[in-house]
C-alpha cells in the first residue's frame, strides 16, 4: 500500500460532524456584522513580510517567531524572505484601505472579514498553525462610542452563539503622548529585576518593555508590582478611557480592568480588549481580542486616521460552545429520492423540484432494490424518502417518513408543504 499522507502539523480537517456548528457560528458572525452596518472586505492570504514587520512590530511574536513564510515555485531564499501567510487581518485591511484610496469614501468605514490566519508556532490544544478569525474594523472613528459599540458587538456574538460567562478584559495603553513615560517606568522597574525575567523578556526589555508585561512566564508577583498604564494616561487618553467605561456601564456590559493587557502587537493605542470564558484566563486561551490602533494607517503610508478593530477566533468559539453544550444548529432534514424503475432522469427531475421548494435532497442513483435504497437513505440520516412510482417524475409520488415508516401518496408539488407541515424544518 502506498504511504499515507497526513495533514500538516497544527492544522485540522473540518469534518462533516463539526460542519453544522461552524456554519451556525459563521452565519451569526456574518449576520451581526451586517446588523452593525459593516461591509465585507477580503484581502490576499499572503502579503509582503514587510507589511507585517512594519504593521505588527519587529518584536511581536507574530513577526519574530511565528511568521509563516512562503516562497514561489522556485522557492529561492529571496522569495522566501519576501512573502508570508497573513498572521492577522488588520495589517492587510489597512494596506487595502490605503492602496485603494478608501479614505475619500464617506467614513467612518465599517468592515468585516472572515477567513484563515496562519502562525507558525508550536501547536497545542486551541492553538493551531491555521485558524479562522472573524474580524471587524472601523476606520476613521476616534471613539469612544465606537469602542463600546464593538465590545457590545462581541458580547452579542458570544450570546447568540450561546456561550455563557464571557467576560471582557479591558485596558488603555495610552498614545504617543503618554506612553513614552509609561515605557520608561516599565524599563526602570523591570531592569531592577532583570535576573527574574525570561530570556525573551530580557531581550525585549529595552526595545519593547510592554511585551514584558504580556510574557506568559512573567512571575505573577513581579507583574503585580509593575507600573500600570492607566496611571500614566494623558488627559486626552484618560477622558477617552473614562468615556468607554461609562458607556459600558450604561449598557450593563461586564468587564474587568486588566493592567497586563497590552496585546502582543505594536500598533495598538488606547483601548485594548480581550474576551475570555470566565475562569479560563489563566490558560492564555482568549476567545478574541483587539483594540484601537490610531497610528497604524499613518505607519503604513496613509494619512493619520483613528481606527479600532477586533478579531474573534472561530475555532476556540466553536470548541467552547461545544464544551458548554450550546445548541448546534441541526441541518435541514434530508429528503431522499428513490425508485425502483430505471428512471434516473426522473429522480433528478423530482430532486430539482424539491430543491426549488427549498428542501435538502439526495437522490439515489443506484440500481438497487427499493428496500435497499430506503435502508441506506435512513442510514445516511435522511428523515424522509420520496418514492417515485408508476407515475414517474410527474407523480404522484409516495412520501415516506423514515422514522415511523408511515407513508402516503402525494403530488410532487405538495411534498415540500407536507414535509414542512410535519414540523420540519
Ligand atoms: P490575537 O490577535 O492573537 O489576539 O488573536 C485573536 C484571536 O484569534 C484569539 O483570541 C484566538 O481566539 C484566535 N487565535 C489566535 N491565535 C490562534 C491560534 N494559533 N490558534 C487558534 N486560534 C487562535
Ligand 1 geometric centre to CA of 306 (Å): 23
Ligand 1 atom with the smallest distance to the CA of 133 is 8
**Predicted local distance difference test score (pLDDT) of residue 79:** 67
The predicted structure's pLDDT at residue 71:
78
Q: Give the residue from 373, 370, 367, 334 showing the smallest Cα distance to 351.
A: 334
* CA–CA distance, 139 with 309 (Å, rounded to integer): 8
CA nearest ligand 1 atom 11, residue: 313
Residues of the chain with pLDDT under 70: 73, 75, 78-80, 264, 266, 282-284, 329-331, 423-425
Asked whether the beta carbons of 135 and 112 are under 8 A apart, the reply is yes
Q: What is the pLDDT of residue 425?
A: 44
pLDDT of residue 33: 97
Region of 168 please: left (phi>0), alpha (psi -120 to 50) or beta: beta
Pocket of ligand 1 (CB under 6 A): 88, 119, 126-128, 131, 133, 286-289, 311, 313, 315-316
Instruction: Say how far apart CA 289 and CA 171 lie, in whole Å.
Output: 12
Kindly give the distance from the C-alpha atom of residue 411 to the centroid of ligand 1, in angstroms, as a whole number. 52
Cell of 348: 433528478
9: nearest Cα among 115, 130, 132, 133: 130
Atom of ligand 1 nearest to the CA of 127: 20
Yes or no: say if 182 and 227 are a contact pair by the CB < 8 Å rule: yes
Q: CA triplet 105, 55, 277: central angle to 5 degrees?
A: 95
Question: What pLDDT score does 250 carry?
Answer: 98
CA–centroid distance, 224 to ligand 1, in Å, is 25
The label of the residue with cell 492577522 reads 88
Mutate to test the pocket of ligand 1, among 313, 317, 319 (most ligand atoms within 8 A of CB): 313
Report the atom number in ligand 1 closest to the C-alpha of 62: 3
Q: Whose CA is nearest to atom 15 of ligand 1?
A: 313
User: What local confidence, expressed as pLDDT, does residue 423 receive?
Assistant: 62
User: How many residues in the chain?
Assistant: 425
Distance 94 CA to ligand 1 centre (A): 19
How many whole angstroms from 260 Cα to the centroid of ligand 1? Answer: 17
In angstroms, the CA 109 to CA 307 distance is: 9
Q: What is the DSSP string of 224-259?
A: HTS--GGGG--HHHHHHHHHHHHHHHHHT--EEE-T
Q: Between vectors from CA 177 to CA 175 and to CA 180, what angle results, nearest 5°?
A: 85
**In whole angstroms, how large is the CA radius of gyration of the chain?**
27
Nearest in space to 240 (alpha carbons), one of 177, 284, 194: 177
Kindly provide the residue ranges of all beta strands, DSSP E only, lying in 297-391, ordered along the sequence.
307-313, 334-339, 360-363, 382-388
Q: Angle at the Cα of 40 (from 250 to 309), degrees rounded to 5?
A: 40
> How far, in Å, is the centroid of ligand 1 from the Cα of 314?
9
User: Whole-angstrom Cα distance, residue 373 to residue 265?
Assistant: 57
Rounded distance between C-alpha atoms, residue 19 and residue 29, angstroms: 15
Integer Cα distance of 53 and 76 in angstroms: 20
Amino acid at each position: 500500500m502506498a504511504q499515507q499522507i497526513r495533514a500538516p502539523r497544527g492544522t485540522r480537517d473540518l469534518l462533516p460532524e463539526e460542519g453544522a456548528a461552524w456554519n451556525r457560528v459563521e452565519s451569526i458572525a456574518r449576520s451581526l456584522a451586517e446588523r452593525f452596518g459593516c461591509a465585507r472586505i477580503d484581502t490576499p492570504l499572503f502579503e509582503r513580510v514587510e507589511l507585517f514587520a512594519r504593521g505588527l512590530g519587529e518584536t511581536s511574536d507574530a513577526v519574530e517567531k511565528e511568521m509563516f513564510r512562503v516562497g514561489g515555485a522556485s522557492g529561492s531564499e529571496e522569495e522566501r524572505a519576501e512573502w508570508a501567510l497573513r498572521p492577522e487581518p488588520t495589517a492587510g485591511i489597512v494596506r487595502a484601505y490605503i492602496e485603494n484610496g478608501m479614505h475619500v469614501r464617506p467614513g467612518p468605514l465599517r468592515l468585516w472579514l472572515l477567513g484563515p490566519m496562519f502562525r507558525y508556532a508550536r501547536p497545542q490544544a486551541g492553538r493551531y498553525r491555521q485558524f479562522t478569525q472573524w474580524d471587524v474594523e472601523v476606520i476613521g472613528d476616534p471613539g469612544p462610542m465606537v469602542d463600546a459599540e464593538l465590545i457590545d458587538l462581541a458580547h452579542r456574538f458570544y450570546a447568540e452563539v450561546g456561550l455563557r460567562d464571557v467576560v471582557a478584559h479591558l485596558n488603555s495603553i495610552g498614545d504617543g503622548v503618554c506612553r513614552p513615560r509609561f515605557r520608561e517606568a516599565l524599563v526602570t522597574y523591570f531592569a531592577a529585576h532583570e535576573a527574574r525575567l525570561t530570556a525573551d523578556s530580557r531581550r525585549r526589555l529595552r526595545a519593547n518593555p510592554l511585551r514584558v508585561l504580556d510574557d506568559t512566564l512573567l512571575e505573577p508577583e513581579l507583574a503585580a508590582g509593575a507600573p500600570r498604564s492607566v496611571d500614566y494616561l494623558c488627559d486626552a487618553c484618560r477622558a477617552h478611557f473614562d468615556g468607554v467605561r461609562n458607556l459600558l456601564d450604561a449598557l450593563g456590559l461586564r468587564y474587568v480592568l486588566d493592567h497586563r493587557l497590552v496585546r502582543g502587537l505594536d500598533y495598538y493605542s488606547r483601548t485594548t480588549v480581550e474576551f475570555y470564558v470566565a475562569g479560563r484566563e489563566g490558560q492564555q486561551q482568549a476567545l478574541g481580542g483587539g483594540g484601537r490602533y490610531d497610528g497604524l494607517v499613518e505607519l503604513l503610508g496613509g494619512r493619520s486616521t483613528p481606527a479600532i478593530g477586533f478579531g474573534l477566533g472561530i475555532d476556540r468559539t466553536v470548541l467552547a460552545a461545544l464544551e458548554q453544550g450550546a445548541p448546534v444548529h441541526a441541518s435541514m432534514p434530508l429528503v431522499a429520492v428513490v425508485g425502483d424503475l430505471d428512471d434516473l432522469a426522473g429522480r433528478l427531475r423530482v430532486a430539482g423540484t424539491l430543491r426549488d421548494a427549498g428542501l435538502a435532497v439526495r437522490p439515489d442513483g443506484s440500481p438497487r432494490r427499493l428496500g435497499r435504497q430506503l435502508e441506506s437513505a435512513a442510514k445516511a440520516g435522511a428523515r424522509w424518502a420520496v418514492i417515485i412510482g408508476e407515475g414517474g417524475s410527474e407523480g404522484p409520488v409516495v412520501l415516506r417518513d423514515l422514522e415511523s415508516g408511515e407513508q402516503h401518496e402525494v403530488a410532487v408539488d405538495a411534498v415540500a408543504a407536507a414535509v414542512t407541515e410535519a414540523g420540519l424544518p
